[in-house]
């Protein structure tokens, strides 16, 4: 039986925190617009409002459900002085900008809970500002 809510992981480089949050399960409510609004609200919890998102699929054996991080598609075009970044060590090849929301994807392509844990992310996430990234990546 499916649950009416999904547990997601929020990666917030502005607060330098990784936490669980709850959103409605769109497969149960049949309201994908409201579900998207909830994800946008979580992603806009920092100083930058997000108006378009994209999925960054994690590339690791641990991500069995095709786990992805929803991120701001325009994250690299925002005010770089205000933007914050994070890297998922060993699971995604480049830095991601802004607040990320981690979801799983089921066989039908619908959003589901991630199979990865908060602890898994805490072991792999590194937070950076633009100047730090510039020193590392040139």
| Helix or strand run (H / E) with residue 2 | none
The pLDDT of residue 64: 65
Average pLDDT score, the chain: 90
Closest CA to 59 of 50, 69, 71: 69
Task: Return d(Cα 20, Cα 28) in angstroms, integer.
Answer: 20
Q: What is the pLDDT of residues 58-100, one digit of tens each?
A: 988 766 668 999 999 998 887 778 899 999 999 999 999 999 9
Residues recorded for the chain: 138
- For residue 14, give the 3-state DSSP assignment: coil
Distance of CA 17 to the CA centre of its chain: 12
Q: In the predicted model, what is the mean pLDDT of residues 46-59?
A: 93
| Strands of 96-97's sheet in order across | 96-97, 84-88, 125-129
pTM to 2 decimals? 0.92
């Amino acid at each position: 039986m499916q649950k009416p809510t999904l547990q997601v992981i929020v990666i917030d480089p502005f607060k330098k925190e990784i936490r669980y949050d709850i959103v409605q399960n769109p497969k149960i409510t049949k309201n994908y617009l409201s579900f998207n609004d909830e994800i946008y609200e979580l992603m806009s919890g920092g100083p930058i409002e997000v108006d378009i998102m994209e999925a960054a699929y994690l590339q690791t054996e641990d991500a069995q459900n095709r786990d992805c991080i929803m991120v701001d598609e325009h994250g690299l075009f925002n005010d770089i002085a205000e933007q914050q970044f994070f890297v998922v060590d060993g699971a995604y090849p480049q830095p991601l900008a802004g607040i990320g929301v981690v979801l799983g994807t089921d066989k039908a392509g619908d959003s589901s809970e991630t199979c990865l844990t908060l602890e898994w992310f805490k072991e792999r996430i590194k937070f950076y500002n633009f100047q730090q990234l510039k020193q590392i990546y040139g």
